[in-house]
Amino acid sequence: MQIDRVPTGIKELDEILEGGYPAQQGILVSGPPGSGKSILATHFLYRSCQDGKKCVLMLTQVNVESFLEQAQSIGIDFSSCIEKGTLQINKSFETRTNKIYNAARHGSGIGFLEKDCVQSVQDIPEDTEIVVIDNLDMLSLYHDMEEFADKFFTINDILFDKKCTTLFLIGQEESGQKLAIAQHTSFGNIELSVIKDSVTGKGMRQMYIPKMRCTYLSLEPLNYKISNQGIKIEKIFQRDEIVNDAINSLI
Q: How many CB atoms lie within 10 A of CB 212?
A: 20
Whole-model pTM: value is 0.85
Q: What is the mean pLDDT of residues 100-106?
A: 49
- pLDDT the model gives residue 97: 47
Q: What is the mean pLDDT of residues 166-195?
A: 91
Residue 251's pLDDT band, with cuts at 50, 70 and 90, is low
Q: What is the mean pLDDT of residues 169-195?
A: 90
List the single range of 6-20, 91-105, 162-176 with lowest mean pLDDT. Answer: 91-105
Structural domains of the chain, ranges and CATH numbers in brackets: 5-250 (3.40.50.300)
